C-alpha cells in the first residue's frame, strides 16, 4: 500500500493491490473528515483542497486488517 504525495495541497493517491479497501480520513483529534474520492482498480484519488493545513490520519481497512498513515496537508 502506498500513499502519496505527502505533503499535499490538493490531491493524494492510495495505491493498493486490493480493490475492496475502506479508506477513512481523520484529523488528529480523531474526528472523521469527509473528502471526495474516486477509485479505479486499486487506485484511489482523494481531494483535500477544502481541508485546513495540518496532519491527518489515513485509516485503511480490508477484511479486518487495519493500517494507518499520516498525511500532511499544506495551504
Q: Delimit the domains of the chain by residue range.
A: 2-73
72 pLDDT higher than 90: yes
71 pLDDT higher than 90: yes
Q: Give mean pLDDT, residues 1-18.
A: 94
The residue among 4, 23, 8, 1 whose CA lies nearest residue 54 is 8
Architecture of domain 2-73: Sandwich (2.60)
What band does 24 get if pLDDT is binned at 50, 70 and 90?
Answer: very high
Q: Give mean pLDDT, residues 3-11.
A: 97
Q: In what order do the strands lie in the sheet with 65-73?
A: 32-33, 22-27, 54-62, 65-73
What band does 14 get if pLDDT is binned at 50, 70 and 90?
Answer: very high
Phi-psi region of 64 (alpha: psi -120 to 50; beta: other; left: phi over 0): left
Amino acid at each position: 500500500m502506498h500513499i502519496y504525495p505527502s505533503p499535499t495541497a490538493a490531491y493524494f493517491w492510495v495505491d493498493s493491490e486490493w480493490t475492496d479497501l475502506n479508506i477513512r480520513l481523520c484529523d488528529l483529534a480523531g474526528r472523521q473528515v469527509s473528502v471526495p474520492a474516486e477509485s479505479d482498480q486499486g487506485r484511489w484519488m482523494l481531494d483535500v483542497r477544502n481541508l485546513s493545513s495540518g496532519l491527518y490520519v489515513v485509516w485503511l481497512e480490508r477484511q479486518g486488517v487495519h493500517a494507518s498513515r499520516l498525511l500532511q496537508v499544506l495551504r
